[in-house]
Amino acid sequence: MSKESNYWLRVGAIMGLLAVVFGAFAAHGLEDRLLQLYGEKTKEVLGTEIPAAHKYLADFKTAAEYQMYHALAILAVALLPMSASGRTVNIAGWSFLLGILLFSGSLYVLVLTGQTKLGMITPLGGVFFLIGWGALLIATFQTQAE
């Protein structure tokens, strides 16, 4: 296995591990924190007022889900040949990692602190996810050409 492949395998494993930890935290340890932080506040979702704690719990779970999906994508990056498509494969890996840090990370911070200023970072993380998937697609064609 190449040095780059081994790197992405480790990164994917770490991100997957952390996604499970954060998902478990959302399921078992976040309720009291959300009630303390948001109390009786409400948020409008699809035209309906719901308790803010419910909305932010769902946001935290979304962050953990997207982190896991993209941890698996990073593992796929690790398994692709690094020869002709190495640069594109690395772009995919870095894009997935940056997407996790920006998308999931900003949602984790938003939910745990109530700081909405980071909300503009979340879509940027989504853009990195898209770049990663596009680069991964391109890499599959480069690998076929070998």
pTM recorded for the entire structure: 0.90
CB-based contacts of 93: which residues, under 8 Å, 6+ apart? 8, 11, 74, 77, 78, 132
Q: pLDDT (tens digit, 9 = 90+) per residue, 117-146?
A: 888 899 999 999 999 999 999 988 875 555
Domain boundaries, the chain: 3-145
CA 130, 68, 65 angle in degrees (round to 5)? Answer: 85
The token pair at 120 is 């503009």
Q: pLDDT (tens digit, 9 = 90+) per residue, 33-88?
A: 899 989 889 999 999 999 999 999 999 999 999 999 999 999 999 988 766 567 89
